[in-house]
Amino acid sequence: MPACPYVQLDVFGDRPGAGNPLAVVPDARGLNDADMQAIARWTRLPETTFVFPSPTPTADYAVRIFSPRREVPFAGHPSVGTAHVLLDRGLVAARDGVLVQSCAVGELPLRVDGEGRKRTVAVRTPRASVVEVAEAADPRLRDALAGLATGQLPPVLMDGGRRWWLAELRDEAELRSAVPDWAAISALAEASGSMGLCVFARSEDPVYYLAVRAWVGATGTFEDVASGAANATLAAWLAERDALPGDGGFYRISQGREVGHDAIIELRVDEAGEVWSGGRARTVVNGTLDW
């Protein structure tokens, strides 16, 4: 294929290095599935997205999302970051503040507010549902939560395209100091067909209402810097239990400090019960892909 634009950016951060990195190929025509997987493996970033013309008149563009190991049907920070790149390059324009993305889970709207570095983009995430509510002493969870003081809400397995176990911890200090047991988290992910364990705690910070850590035990073990999808399933669970923080269904979370980042994600649960996950993004690298 001829050389084409290539962008790397930081999503959910107010400065380079604070958020979750993403690579975007704004025009991927000419790339096949093997090419896209190879490029995503080469970038070694959490995800790389590839943009194509929309297959329908109702969407502004189509996006395919690849991790270094496989194609992903939906993810939050790649959806938000891809929209930022396309807006910055003038390749799409929001209509009444809305873009529509076509991806493997269907067509999803994105709300666009502001311009430039003050712009925020939020994607309406796929509907998440409760798979099962458990107890901290559940044999599948016991080792992963060993030594951690849990909060008021019971652990739950949620499915929002990807499955996550969610567990509330007693307070932010408990969450910040937690040391994940990777063998236990990996076993939990395998036993339940989930991504792993996402823990959260309420915060008294004036900027964010929750602190969150997402421990991935599937397809390798690592701590996610900033997961829009995991936080969307968490928002759906809090709404289910009438336990949302903030006002009017809107709140912010902090994630990534324990692994050298400092991301802020904005969540909103609207009157229809739909969850919107978003925030800011900042371009760090503009280049050319010669593949």
pLDDT tens for 138-147 read: 999 999 999 9
For the chain, percent of residues with pLDDT exceeding 90: 95
2: confidence class by pLDDT, cuts 50, 70, 90 = confident
Element (DSSP H or E) covering residue 39: helix 33-43
Going through the chain in order, the beta strands assigned E by DSSP cover 4-11, 20-25, 48-52, 61-66, 71-72, 98-103, 106-113, 120-124, 129-133, 156-159, 163-168, 196-202, 210-216, 222-224, 250-255, 263-269, 275-279, 281-289
pLDDT of residue 117: 86
* Residue 243, token pair as written in the block: 């336990």
Angle subtended at Cα 208 by Cα 9 and Cα 216, rounded to the nearest 5 degrees? 60
161: confidence class by pLDDT, cuts 50, 70, 90 = confident
pLDDT tens for 258-290 read: 999 999 999 999 999 999 999 999 999 999 999
pLDDT tens for 199-246 read: 999 999 999 999 999 999 997 899 999 999 999 999 999 999 999 999
Please name which of 69, 19, 3, 4 lies closest in space to residue 282, comparing C-alpha atoms: 19
pLDDT > 80? residue 1: no
pLDDT of residue 219: 78
Tokens 């799409």 correspond to what residue? 92
pLDDT > 80? residue 23: yes
Task: Assign 119 to helix, strand or coil.
Answer: coil
Cα separation, 266 vs 250, in Å, equals 7
Specify whether the CB–CB gap between 215 and 251 falls below 8 A.
no
pLDDT tens for 30-75 read: 999 999 999 999 999 999 999 999 999 999 999 999 999 999 999 9
Helices and strands per DSSP (H, E), number in the chain? 6, 18
